[in-house]
Amino acid sequence: MTAQLDAAWKPRAQALADELESRGDLTDPAWKAAVAATPRHVFVPEVYEQGTDAEWRPVDVTSPSGLKRVYSPTTLVTALADRGTHREGISSSTKPDLMVRMLEALDVHNGHKVLEIGTGTGYNAGLLSHRLGDEQVFSVDLDAELVNPARDRLASIGLHPTLVTRDGAEGLQEHAPFDRIIATCSVPTMPRAWCEQLADGGLLLADIQLGVGAGNLALLRRDGDQLEGRFTDRWAAFMMIRHHNERPRMLHAPADAGARTRTTSTPPNPWQDNRVVWFLAHLMGLPPGVRYGMRFDPDTRQPTAGTITAPDGSHAFVMLEPTPNGTWSVTETGPTPLWAAVERAHRQWREAGEPGWTRIGLTVTPDDQVVWIDQPTSEHQWSLTA
């Protein structure tokens, strides 16, 4: 089987590199060579896919269909955790197209020392090691159950970057400073350790997520004790960074009593149709831990409303079908008026000229982290740490 795999993966890896180049995800020949030379299947011996019944099932990555999936621009869930009532993915191999876009955005050059937050399967560390040499690559992850196998997989193809089991938010002080830091997990604010361990003039690329789907990748450059930059054009989201001894947030059942129904001029489903507004809404009053979802017609199973629910039991649903006058019906229950924060965000977004992600920036100082539109001195700015 090994000989068959050796014969099968190389043309698939080359085809993946060619596809990423033709799509515009790859422009640097050095990164294309790294994709073509790195056997992704080695890093994902276990892959799971979720069926329509929400159950997770293993994928045979050695089969022709499994190899086709591995060498495609697809995110692969590689580790699950038992949450009592269900299992959920806790580690994945990121979509290769997103991975190479991030690596190219990082503007890596020969001689750069790079810290990766979130070792995962080790595949990204493999690409970095091929490009820079493994002595320049450092990677951390929370669980030895992820780091140790990743180290073995890398060693099996002759690569030996420095991998450490540690809470990613701590970075890797003993090997700092780093010319580049890349995080393949999301954070609500930039950890101070990352900022301090980045070399002056260095770049940090990480996913800022204030809630589920509420954020994007931000590319920041260090200048003295300050980091500043903008969000990237194409949206992306990663699993939230994990810490030891975390407790899942308790969710109260949505309140049914005291329903308040009115109309709104703010379109429903911003988490899908206007992610900038959804991000801003978390800066304007949406409480931490908000979840979004859908209501479906019980007969047709077609979606009828978008919903948001907060941990305190507050709930809002907005009908997808507009009223005759072009507004939408919104019903809220519970102590927190959730849709009001979305309305404020939509209004600010309109007043600012309906900005896309690249007009939104982030400034990180030792005292604060501030989101702004167009420029740091803009009247449209909000603190992440307030």
Active-site positions read 91
CA dihedral angle for residue 212, residue 47, residue 161, residue 142, rounded to 10 degrees: 50
State the Cα–Cα distance between residues 274 and 346, nearest whole angstrom. 9
25 exposure class (CB count in 10 Å sphere: 0-12, 13-18, 19+): buried
How would you label 249-285 residue by residue, b for 16+ Cβ within 10 Å and e otherwise?
Answer: eeeeeebeeeeeeeebebbbbbbeebbbbbbbbbbbe
Task: List beta partners, residue 115.
Answer: 138, 181
All residues at 6 or more sequence positions from 196 whose CB lies less than 8 Å from its CB, including other chains: 171, 176
State the Cα–Cα distance between residues 291 and 345, nearest whole angstrom. 17
State the Cα–Cα distance between residues 128 and 117, nearest whole angstrom. 13
Backbone angles phi, psi at 14, to 5 degrees: -65, -40
CA 210 and chain centroid, separation: 11
State the Cα–Cα distance between residues 53 and 233, nearest whole angstrom. 34
**Three-state DSSP state, 78:** strand
CA distances from 165 to 91, 141, 161, 204 (A): 15, 5, 13, 21
In the chain, which ranges are continuous DSSP H helix? 2-22, 29-37, 40-43, 64-70, 96-105, 123-132, 144-156, 192-197, 270-273, 275-283, 338-351
In 221-307, which ranges are continuous DSSP H helix? 270-273, 275-283
76 exposure class (CB count in 10 Å sphere: 0-12, 13-18, 19+): buried
Q: Are 231 and 358 in contact (CB under 8 A)?
A: yes
